[in-house]
Amino acid sequence: MNKRDIAWETLFNGLSVLQKIEEDGFFDITAAKLKEITGEEPRLLAKWDSRQKTPQIFLDKKLGMLPLSTEKYRIADFQLFHNLEQDRTGIRHFSPPGWAQTLTPFWFSRSENILLSACYAAGIFDDFFNLPTGTTCFPTISGRLRAKDLKFDVETHLSGKKNRVELSNPQFEIDAGFESEQCIFFVEAKNTFCEDFNIRQLYIPWRYLTGLVSGKPIHPLFLMSHNGVITLYHYKFEDPVNFNSLSLIKKQRYSLCEFRITMEDIQLIAKKSRKKNRNEYSAGVVFPQADKFDLIIKLGELLVSETKDTSDVAEYYEYDHRQGQYYVQASRFLGLIRKTEDKYALTTLGQKIFTSDLNTRIRGLIEVVFQSNVFKRTFMHTLKHNGLEPSKELISQWILDDGWDLNLTTRLRRASTVLAWNRWIFLQKTD
């Protein structure tokens, strides 16, 4: 349990929070009281942009928290997060002007502001909104702002029930806002892999802008940049006073560097990849149980510049120690990272892959996956049977055939990871 989780456990126990929520439907607490009990800065303690960042007790009890003002918070069974739509679209390639030395991947991978500048300079936003030839959008509103009082309903985890919330001059931040002759749009940007986001990041700015601007639609966008691919999500709030009424209008993937991989490319990598024997794995390496391959990439990107210890890795993932170790072990299985005492660092191979251009990186990652015969057989089976994946039972037998002495229950769990990585490989096809 991390420091933040301990602070919230202390507060919940000391103030009988769960009992009061059961009695009244919510629990309000001041920023001053939060700091008094936990000793932590309230603004940081209460900032959760995703479920992954949510304190464990809130996840366990299906609770959420909204700031009613700068000095007061409400805890209730709020549904605050929206799952990002995971279906993949084709990738469109755009580039900033060649003379823009500070808008290269080296720079925009280090800053969301630079990333947004690169997207604007490359014409990605013009393309996304299909602006007429000869017209463009211009950067306008951004930064920390404050709205007027707002009233709205938030859905709860109790079916069919809504919770009315009143916010007093809520403070919010817009990463970037743009205006064209046709519309106004603003962007919430994340320069990392994420599975969901806090709806408040889009809803409050949208309510603020719709209350001040007339004659043009206001479009909220969520932007995720991960592994060289930028995904834009365009949402619409169907009901102005319903926090949870957002629906996806459009989604598109982009790259700021040329990237193309065909199914024939992947088949060739599978054909040429060298099989790694069981005895070639380092001591302590186990067959992986880590379904989200994007989190392996996230770990590799973390370790490009420096080594990290076990607690650093757990904090970075914002998982507990055990969960963080799943992805460490998976990365060691692939030969991407090494462990020295309590420190983790990229291997020579890992450094080569994670500092390469996107084409080389993706091909390198697929190749190290295929070095395990289990993963190669799973891919070839799926390809041969027109997308029909092998059963977990069959994969379980392949794991045993490859020399991994695990019981049946464990092998079936590991088969889920094999299938998840297999789907990730198929999704890398850009055509």
Q: For residue 145, list its beta bridge partners.
A: 172
Mean pLDDT of all residues belonging to the chain: 89
The residue that leads in pLDDT, 358 or 122, is 122
pLDDT, residue 239, reads 96
CA dihedral sign, ordered 129, 132, 133, 136: negative
Residue range 85-120, pLDDT digits in tens:
987 777 888 989 889 988 887 777 778 999 999 999
Provide the β-strand partners of residue 30: 72
- In sequence order, what are the residues at sequence separation of 6 or more whose Cβ sits closer than 8 angstroms to the Cβ of residue 401? none
CA distance 239 to 168: 21
| Confidence band for 14, pLDDT divided at 50, 70 and 90 | confident
pLDDT at 391: 97
Looking at residue 86, what is its pLDDT? 80
What does the alpha-carbon distance between residue 134 and residue 194 come to, in Å, rounded to a whole number?
Answer: 35
**Above 90 in pLDDT, residue 222?**
yes
Given CA atoms 325, 314, 49, 299 in this order, what sign does their dihedral have? negative
Q: Tell me the Cα Rg of the chain.
A: 24
Local confidence band at 4 (pLDDT 50, 70, 90 cut-offs): confident
Kindly indicate the confidence band of residue 415, based on its pLDDT and cuts at 50, 70 and 90: very high
Structure tokens at 79: 């549904």
Tell me, what's the pLDDT at 242? 96
**240 has pLDDT over 70:** yes
pLDDT confidence of residue 42: 81
Cβ atoms within 10 A of the Cβ of 393, count?
A: 11
Residue 53 pLDDT greater than 80, yes or no? yes
Lowest-confidence segment of 32-41, 174-183, 314-323, 330-339 by average pLDDT: 314-323
Confidence check: pLDDT of 321 > 90? no
pLDDT digits (tens, 9 = 90+) for 366-398: 999 999 999 999 999 999 999 999 999 999 999
SS3 assignment for the chain = CCHHHHHHHHHHHHCCHHHHHHHHCCEEEEHHHHHHHHCCCHHHHCCCCCHHHCCHHHHHCCCEEEEEECCEEEEECECCEEECCCCCCCEEECCCCCCCHHHCHHHHCCCHHHHHHHHHHHCHHHHHCCCCCCCCCEECCCEEEECCCEEEEEEECCCCCEEEEEECCCEEEECEEEECCCCEEEEEEECCCCCEEECHHHHHHHHHHHCCCCCCCEEEEEEEEECCEEEEEEEEECCCCECCCEEEEEEEEEECCCCCCCHHHHHHHHHHCCCCCHHHCCCCCCCCCCCCHHHHHHHHHHCCCCCEEHHHHHHHHCCCHHHHHHHHHHHHHCCCEEEECCEEEECHHHHHHHCCCHHHHHHHHHHHHHCCHHHHHHHHHHHHCCCCCCCHHHHHHHHHHCCCCCCHHHHHHHHHHHHHHHHHHHHCCCC
Q: What is the pTM of this model?
A: 0.81
pLDDT bin (cut points 50, 70, 90) of residue 315 is low
Q: Which pLDDT band holds residue 190 (cuts at 50, 70, 90)?
A: very high
Rounded Cα distance, 205 and 144, in Å: 10
Choose the weakest-confidence range: 5-9, 72-76, 102-106, 263-267.
102-106
Q: What is the mean pLDDT of residues 224-251?
A: 94
Dist. CA 189–CA 220, nearest whole Å: 11
> What does the alpha-carbon distance between residue 92 and residue 430 come to, in Å, rounded to a whole number?
9
Report d(CA 8, CA 47) in Å as an integer: 13
pLDDT score recorded for residue 89: 73
Please name which of 286, 267, 266 lies closest in space to residue 278, comparing C-alpha atoms: 286
* pLDDT higher than threshold 60 for residue 345: yes
Q: Which of 78-82, 273-277, 280-284, 338-342 has the highest mean pLDDT?
A: 78-82
Partner residues linked to 268 by β-bridges: none
> Of the ranges 106-110, 142-146, 298-302, 342-346, which one carries the lowest mean pLDDT score?
106-110
